[in-house]
Chain A
Amino acid sequence: MLARDNQDSLRRTPLYDLHVSLGGKMVPFAGYDMPVQYPAGVLKEHLHTRSKAGLFDVSHMGQIALRPKSGKVEDAARALERLVPQDIVAIAPGRQRYAQFTNADGGILDDLMVANFGDHLFLVVNAACKAEDEAHLRANLAGDCIIDSLADRALIALQGPKAEAALAKLCAEAPSMKFMDAGPHRVAGLDCFVSRSGYTGEDGFEISVPAADAERLAKTLLEDPDVLPIGLGARDSLRLEAGLCLYGHDIDTTTTPVEAALEWSVQKSRRSGGARTGGFPGAEKILAHFDQGAARRRVGLRTEGRAPVREGALLFADATSSQPVGKVTSGGFGPSLNAPVAMGYVPTALSALDTKLFAEVRGQRLPLMVAAMPFVKNTYKR
């Protein structure tokens, strides 16, 4: 009965009924009842997204508007820079950037997308962190910004090589958007926010739509024979092949952006010697990691055999030593590679490409190699 009670307390996205009608296998995820797969299955859903287009319900994620009290978006950007190591001021209107909320120890509280919508900033944060993120924003930015939780909006991701053609039928501007362009657009006559981004390594879009219209939009997109609904199972295998971090697994409050190999996401203006160096939580430690290097690093891992190496597997420098040197933080089977893929943390001295390591799986040491990420070439439209 306990399990039943927990089931009942799960939240539903505006697309819940659609998932059930499409045969989605519903599982609890971040407090929501979400489809882990549809009848096609994880493997086919994954491959379909890479060859045609997949539709994902990501409405469980948090959508937040940061509205500057001064009316000037730059003031909201400057305020947000107190919480993230990214250059937010430099995000041009109609553009989006990947960011992280950091803590005083230089760890990551959450990762997020920040878009400049001209008169305000639009944030997309992880489902499991959204309540804490909002509290964090209110505690730190309430003097400068109105923190507007957009709980009445759904979020639909359309990903894959046919995503542009599918969306173009409903939104004429979609084809002219470039990777990380973001802004308000009408989609099928609805007031949406569209970004050309995603979490699969494929070209594609994320579409924020009023909750009441979400099912109609999803059904309209699914009328295109190239578009299939895709569950969380394939979302995870797609992002893993793309080398993208999953919060709470590959990054968390104990990993700095440098350890996580996310240096590319921290612009020069916020690093040592930059125009607005530091000034974010944990700056001392994060800048020290930039300047002196970090002791460990997130790397990609490929195995020799076909046995997947999964999250939690300990990593060893050789076949016999008893002391682990690191741990796998995400791992599974990559359907596009038809081979296992993983990522994990290792000492920086062992992080060079082609370094040979061993993972302990069911008492055996399986050989693996440090490999370049993304594992599957991304196809962003730059």
Chain B
Amino acid sequence: MTTTLYTSDHEWLAIDGDVATVGITDYAQQQLGDVVFVELPKVGRTLKKTEAAAVVESVKAASDVYAPISGEVLETNEALAAEPALVNSDAQGAAWFFKIKIADKSELGGLMDEAAYKAHTA
């Protein structure tokens, strides 16, 4: 059973046991516009919460994606290298960025559920 949580920086985390799949929200992709390049963290890298983990580039600008929680990167979405536009077409599905091993479950307490995130972007 997975739970989806959100950050105020417009990332989503699908929590499944001690692994979180991370991506950017549909709201974020709409704000960014056409995504043309995604730079993902290296598998095996240990991320600290709030450090720059990935970069999303639109035609116009580059935006950092910050690690929503701390932990080791287990897997990245290779499909984004070939098709960055997936971020626009399926931000909260096929366009997941990376999977991270949750280092400290207490960090999840600061995240929003869907209703709170909807209120945040309203």
Contact = CB atoms under 8 A, between A and B. Distances in A.
Interface in A203-238: 233-234, 236-237
Interface string A262-297: 000000000000000000000000000000000000
B37 interface: yes
B75 interface: no
A120 interface: no
B62 A42 contact: no
A335 B59 contact: yes
Contact of A333 (B37, B39, B55, B81): B37
Contacts of A307: 37, 39, 57
A44 B84 CA distance: 15
A42 B34 contact: yes
Nearest to B64: A362
B59 A237 contact: yes
Nearest to A25: B33
Contacts of A306: 36-37, 81, 84
Size class of the contact patch on chain B? 10 to 19
A42 B58 contact: yes
Contacts of A310: 61-62
Interface string A100-131: 00000000000000000000000000000000
A333 B33 CA distance: 13
Given A42-B59, A43-B59, A332-B59, A308 B39 contact: no
Contacts of A255: none
B36 A308 contact: yes
B105 interface: no
Contact of A233 (B33, B57, B62, B84): B33
B80 to A, nearest CB: 11
Contact of A41 (B34, B37, B81, B84): B34
A46 interface: yes
B55 A236 contact: no
B62 A333 contact: no
Interface centre among B37, B60, B62 (most CB of A within 10 A): B60
* A interface, size bucket: 20 to 34
B38 to A, nearest CB: 9
Nearest to A237: B59
A37 interface: yes
Contacts of A43: 33-34, 36, 59
A308 B62 contact: yes
Contacts of A44: 34
Interface in A329-382: 332-333, 335, 340, 362
A42 B60 contact: yes
Contacts of B60: 36, 42, 233, 236-237, 332
A362 B39 contact: yes
A42 B33 contact: yes
Interface in A311-334: 332-333
B57 A308 contact: yes
A233 B39 contact: no
A233 B59 contact: yes
A44 B58 CA distance: 13
Given A333-B57, A333-B59, A37 B36 contact: no
The 4 A-B pairs of least Cβ separation, nearest first, read A43-B34, A333-B36, A42-B59, A333-B59
